[in-house]
């Protein structure tokens, strides 16, 4: 039986925890980093390096050369997996707001939100009431939405009933998730190399949200438990002050003038791009453009997207994104309201207005208000990317298996890309029915057998 205690773990203030996976390997991430570092400075070969490792161990080596001397590249050679549980959707996005993040987050379709904890930074009855009202509404609409979807998309004779029911359930969760507050808790796995963990934690410990600062502090401590000689970097007051200034005053993106969709700029050098014309035209389906195309420049867009779909959009780390502040300013996504049974729409609008008023009366910072705002509210998504990254994004996120609110914006971006690069030979491989209800969605599951 697996011994849970062997994995270093520290509890978070809000009831969750941070855990570092101990694989019990004879050569752990720290030793692996040492071996690769020795390999870069000696021609003695791996056999000799293994002998040095056996005799001296990796601890002093990492403390001296990686932490002490600041040879950051050594930290690239060792990796570690951290599991974080019981944190808000906001904290999960903060952790994942790193271009070299690797990992997975729990899908809202597979979480029982009748029992899942909702985080309340106010710890007040008022705050608890708002959160529990979201929960109640979320649970109330489940069955009416499923019945409504079955009328819209009746099962065909040749469709498997079990798969059809799963597809209907997945679609109903896609609608209902809009009424979950961002303070709803989730779990995620977080895997990076030593260097990236150290660099990201350096920023997260100055985040606007106390919850994220707590996660950063506990993650660093639990990593120190596992690898005490690789996570003891000296802190410099000027660097800490600079990072705090940015994280507190410049991190969140706000734009009250954000449009439904807008091309911000096109800075692609067409003369340089012409050298890649043949590759733009002949690229096969399920094949990415050459990395060299990135040299030609980038394009930037901005559009409004609900926070629920932003969680999927943010996964694309090849593009440069700003972290938007979740507010009620840009309204609730119309698609969600239109997906409800007609007799639920007016009462839903009335409920949303009531919740908005209660949130505004909490007398807390706009950053902490995010915990009480439902994921169906829209936020401005501003991003830029080279043509390779944008083409990959457009093709992957415009299929019938992607949430419709994100598909809608991807189709607008696709139309823009076609207009901008038609003369350059750009070919896109797209779903010919992106808005079709496909029961194969019911097969997209991960089940241990």
- Contact at 8 Å (CB) between 127 and 120? yes
The answer to whether 90 and 182 are in contact (CB under 8 A) is yes
Q: How confident is the model at residue 1 (pLDDT cuts 50, 70, 90)?
A: very low
Residue 317: Cβ-neighbour burial (10 angstroms; 0-12, 13-18, 19+): middle
If DSSP codes are grouped into helix, strand and coil, which group holds residue 308?
Answer: helix
**3-state DSSP assignment of residue 8:** coil
Res 19: pLDDT = 80
Sign of the Cα pseudo-torsion (381, 385, 387, 390, in order):
negative
pLDDT in tens, 331-340: 999 999 999 9
User: Is the four-CA dihedral 119, 125, 130, 135 of positive or negative sign?
Assistant: positive
CA torsion sign for 245, 247, 253, 255 is negative
pLDDT at 26 over 70: no
What distance in Å separates the CA atoms of residue 332 and residue 305, rounded to the nearest whole number? 10
Cα separation, 194 vs 73, in Å, equals 10
Which pTM value belongs to this model?
A: 0.88
**Sign of the Cα pseudo-torsion (304, 307, 311, 312, in order):** negative
pLDDT recorded at residue 447? 36
Can you tell me the mean pLDDT for 133-145? 96
**Residue 143: CA count within 13 A, CB half-sphere:** 2
Assess whether pLDDT exceeds 70 at residue 43.
Answer: no
Residue 380: pLDDT band (50, 70, 90) is very high
How far is residue 49's CA from residue 54's CA, in Å, rounded to a whole number?
A: 9
Give the residue among 103, 178, 161, 200 at the shortest CA–CA distance from 352.
178
Res 69: pLDDT = 44
Average pLDDT for 238-265? 96
Instruction: Return the pLDDT at 70.
Output: 53
Interval 271-312: pLDDT, tens:
999 999 999 999 999 999 999 999 999 999 999 999 999 999
CA distance 389 to 288: 9
Q: Which CATH class is domain 4-106+185-249?
A: alpha beta
- Segment 174-194 shows an average pLDDT of 94
Please state whether 6 falls in left (phi above 0), alpha (psi between -120 and 50) or beta: alpha
Element holding 324 (H helix, E strand): strand 323-324
User: How far is Cα 446 from Cα 448, in angstroms, rounded to an integer?
Assistant: 7
pLDDT at 449 over 50: no
What are 263's two structure tokens?
Answer: 């091309």
* Ranges of each domain in the chain: 4-106+185-249
In the predicted structure, residue 23 carries a pLDDT above the cut 70: no
Q: What is the DSSP letter of 276?
A: G
Alpha carbons 194 and 92: distance in angstroms, whole number: 20
Q: Which residues pair with 382 in a beta bridge?
A: 302
* pLDDT class of 446 with cuts at 50, 70, 90: very low
């Amino acid at each position: 039986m697996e011994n849970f205690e062997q994995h270093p773990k520290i509890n978070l203030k809000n009831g969750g925890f941070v855990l570092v996976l101990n694989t019990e390997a004879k050569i752990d991430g720290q030793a692996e980093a040492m071996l690769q570092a020795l390999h870069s400075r000696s021609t003695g070969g791996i056999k000799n390096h293994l002998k040095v490792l056996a005799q001296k161990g990796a601890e002093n080596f990492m403390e001296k050369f990686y932490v002490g001397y600041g040879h950051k590249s050594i930290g690239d050679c060792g990796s570690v997996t951290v599991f974080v549980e019981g944190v808000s959707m906001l904290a999960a996005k903060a952790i994942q707001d790193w271009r070299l993040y690797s990992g997975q987050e729990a899908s809202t379709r597979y979480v029982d939100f009748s029992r899942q904890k909702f985080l309340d930074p106010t710890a007040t009855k008022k705050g608890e009431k708002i959160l529990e009202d979201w929960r109640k509404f979320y649970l109330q609409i489940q069955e009416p939405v499923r019945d409504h979807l079955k009328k819209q998309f009746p099962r065909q004779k040749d469709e498997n009933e079990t798969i059809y029911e799963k597809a209907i359930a997945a679609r109903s969760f896609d609608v209902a998730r809009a009424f979950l507050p961002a303070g709803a808790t989730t779990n995620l796995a977080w895997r990076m190399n030593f260097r990236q963990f150290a660099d990201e934690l350096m920023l997260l410990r100055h985040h606007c949200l106390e919850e994220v600062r707590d996660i950063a502090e506990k993650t660093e401590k639990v990593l120190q438990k596992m690898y005490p000689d690789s996570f003891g970097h000296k802190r410099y007051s000027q660097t800490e002050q600079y990072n705090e200034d940015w994280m507190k005053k410049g991190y969140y993106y706000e734009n009250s003038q954000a449009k439904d969709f807008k091309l911000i700029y096109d800075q692609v050098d067409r003369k340089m791009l012409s050298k890649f014309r043949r590759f733009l035209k002949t690229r096969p389906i399920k094949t990415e453009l050459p990395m060299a195309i990135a040299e030609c420049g980038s394009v930037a867009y901005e559009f409004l997207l609900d926070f629920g779909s932003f969680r999927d959009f943010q996964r694309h780390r090849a593009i440069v994104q700003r972290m938007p502040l979740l507010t009620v300013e840009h309204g609730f996504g119309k698609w969600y309201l239109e997906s409800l049974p007609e007799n639920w729409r007016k009462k839903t609008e009335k409920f949303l207005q009531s919740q908005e008023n209660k949130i505004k009366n909490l007398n807390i910072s706009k950053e902490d208000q995010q915990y009480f705002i439902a994921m169906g509210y829209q936020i401005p998504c501003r991003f830029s990317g080279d043509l390779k990254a944008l083409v990959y994004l457009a093709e992957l996120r415009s299929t019938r298996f992607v949430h419709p609110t994100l598909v809608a914006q991807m189709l607008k971006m696709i139309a823009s890309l076609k207009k901008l690069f038609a003369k350059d030979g750009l070919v896109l491989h797209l779903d010919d029915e992106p808005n079709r209800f496909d029961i194969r969605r019911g097969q997209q599951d991960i089940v241990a057998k």
